[in-house]
Amino acid sequence: MKIRTISIWALAVAGGLQSCQTKDNNTSDATDTTATVTSTEVEPDQSFEKALVYFALDKYDSSANSIEHAADFMEEMSNSLPEKRDAAIDSCVADLRDLATDVATDHVYGIGELNYYFGKTGRALAGYTMTITDEKFSNLAPKEQGLVFRAAIEKMEKSARYHQRELNSDESALFQRAKGLRDRLEKGEAVDKAETLNMIAELRMQLGKWEKEFKARHDSESAPGKDK
């Protein structure tokens, strides 16, 4: 089943930034965004899923190659928008390349190591998505804002799943409200700017909480003396 998502290229078009693809001057931003959403494969998640399958089958070279492919995608994305280069994205590229080397040479503690860095990448992408929304809010039509919210929510939820972490009641309530706002925007409803930006702030706060939680868990699980 093909997962519906918005690619980072669509964010570039929706935000009015220069994309790596040439745009026809007679085509609206909204049309370009929709076309990109429907035609772009899901990355880097597609490569992450392949890496996990190969790792579970002890095919470490293939797993490492899939991780490298994801890193290549992230680096290409970052290089395409140099004026909006994001430190968290660049950090993830470096982490993924190091992880690929460790997987290929059998220097990881287990599949949880892959899940940690895949989840971290998802959070970085979600944060970057919301940065585009925040900075380019006035240039986005409601439906485009809805697509960006959809992307951020999906990346955040997948990040939690990589960590095998169920949402608690407060987190579930937050995502329910975020999805309600997303649905209203995708229907073309004009939502007050303050409501949208407040939701972005709440989601950012949740990202920060998760970053601390998952890093602490990772550091504990990979501490010296732990079994590989």
- Name the phi and psi angles at 5, rounded to 5: -155, 175
When the pLDDT of each residue in the chain is averaged and rounded to a whole number, the result is 80
On the question of pLDDT at 114 being above 80, the answer is yes
On the question of pLDDT at 13 being above 90, the answer is no
- Give the orientation angle of helix 87-104 with respect to helix 60-80, to 10 degrees: 160
Q: In this predicted structure, what is the pLDDT of residue 206?
A: 96
Q: Tens of pLDDT along 169-213? A: 999 999 999 999 999 999 999 899 899 889 999 999 999 999 999
**Per-residue pLDDT averaged across 57-74, rounded?**
96
**Per-residue pLDDT averaged across 43-55, rounded?**
94
Between 62 and 79, the more confident residue is 62
| Residue pair 78/55 in contact by the 8 Å Cβ criterion | no
CA dihedral for 37, 116, 46, 61, sign (positive or negative): positive
**Per-residue pLDDT averaged across 116-124, rounded?**
94
**Per-residue pLDDT averaged across 209-222, rounded?**
90
Report how far residue 69's alpha carbon sits from residue 119's, in angstroms, rounded to the nearest whole number. 16
On the question of pLDDT at 124 being above 70, the answer is yes
**SS3 assignment for the chain:** CCCCCCCHHHHHHHCCCCCCCCCCCCCCHHHHHHHHHHHCCCCCHHHHHHHHHHHHCCCHHHHHHHHHHHHHHHHHHHHHCHHHCCHHHHHHHHHHHHHHHHHHCCCCCCHHHHHHHHHHHHHHHHHHHHHHHHHCHHHCCHHHHHHHHHHHHHHHHHHHHHCCCCCCHHHHHHHHHHHHHHHHHHCCCCCCHHHHHHHHHHHHHHHHHHHHHHHHHHHHHCCCCCCC
On the question of pLDDT at 3 being above 70, the answer is no
